[in-house]
Structure 1
Amino acid sequence: MANPTEIPALGQALGRLPTGLHIVTAVTSGAPTGFVGSFVMQMGLVPPVVAVAVGKDRPHLDAIRSAGHFGVSILAKGSNDLMGRFFRKHEPGSGPFDGLALEHGAHGTPVIADALAWLECRVT
């Protein structure tokens, strides 16, 4: 464990690790659910494999497991407004997908229509 006096320096160092901007999506109870995926990485090309880190106490993990598929929408730099939808709290009956253009993968997984690219992934 890091010394508490070193945490700001540790945060600065970790902040320099390259990351992308991703929205990870799935369907739960017939409705889309999603979150900003900070840790999405390519694990292999043939066959194509990606890894997504999801906290074990997050409700999104149950949705992904239940659906058996999930989407990864790769966002353009400067997509702060779009990402902000998934960071902020919403009133009951509303959510980050309200008014957002979606496409659906072959298994019905919702993905962001305006993304640079998207993947529909199978849970293994």
Structure 2
Amino acid sequence: MSTPVDAQTFRNVLGHFCTGVTVVAGLDRGEPVGLACQSFTSLSLDPPLVLFCPGRTSTSWPRIRNGGRFSVNVLADDQRDVCAAFGATSAPKFSVVGWRRTAAGAVVLDGVLTWLDCSIEAVHDGGDHDIVVGRVRELGVERDHRPLLFYRGRHDLDEPFLSEHQ
């Protein structure tokens, strides 16, 4: 039995797919800018490519795009406050977490699990989102910790939640 595809049903069905949470960041006239992003994945090993999909209504993505490069910061499960700040449209995002620039200029947030520094290879139309392909130029592991996951509209994926909703 199938259900007609409407926006709410689509969101509900795909909400059953667990995703990691990242912050995509860049520099705009020397100032850091970033956005929370769940639609991130690896694309190719050779060449090393990743992709993410920012919404067309994002005010941060055009500022990142203008710089021609972006970093992806994979959040740890103790960084829910970072996710909330970067998911907001008007919050002073970089006031909730420290950050540094790598020698190549990537914006790396404190406390993340891993990071990647990428140049923009291509941007494709993805409906109400852009599909951004990035070539990985530099990357690193910061710490070994549990990742921040998003499932069915929530970040707190403790055992009672999962067993209660299975």
Please classify the TM superposition score into its range, dividing by the shorter chain length. 0.7 to 0.9
- Could you tell me which residue of structure 2 aligns to residue 2 of structure 1? 5
- Structure 2 counterpart of 1:55: 55
| Amino acid aligned to 2:99 | L
Q: Deviations over 1:61-104 (max 9, x none)?
A: 322222111010001124211211113333xxxx1101521122
* TM-score, normalization by structure 2: 0.62
**AA partner of residue 2 (structure 1):** V
Range with greater deviation from structure 2 (103-112 or 48-57): 103-112
Equivalents in 1 of 2:113, 2:44: separation in Å?
20
What's the CA shift for 1:14? 0.8
Matches within 5 A, 1:21-60: 21-60=21-60
| Partner of residue 14, structure 2 | 14
Q: Larger strand proportion, structure 1 or 2? A: 2
4+ residue stretches of structure 1 with deviation over 4 A? none
The Cα of 1:16 is off from its aligned counterpart by 1.3
Which of 120, 123, 135 is residue 123 of structure 1 equivalent to? 120
Aligned equivalent of 2:73: 73
CA contact 1:54–1:60 (8 Å) conserved in 2: no
8 A Cα contact 2:34 2:64, kept in partner: no
CA RMSD of aligned residues (A): 2.0
Deviation at 1:55, TM superposition (A): 2.3
Q: Which amino acid aligns with 1:75?
A: L
Q: 1:114 corresponds to which residue? A: 111
> In 2, are the aligned partners of 1:74 and 1:116 still within 8 Å (CA)?
yes
Q: Contact 2:35–2:61 (CA<8 Å) still a contact in 1? A: no
Q: Distance in 1 between matches of 2:119 and 2:84?
A: 26
- Taking the aligned partners of 1:3 and 1:28, their CA distance within structure 2 comes to 37
TM-score normalized with structure 1 length: 0.81
- The separation in 1 between residues aligned to 2:22 and 2:11, in whole angstroms, is 21
Counterparts of 2:6 and 2:98, CA distance in 1: 45
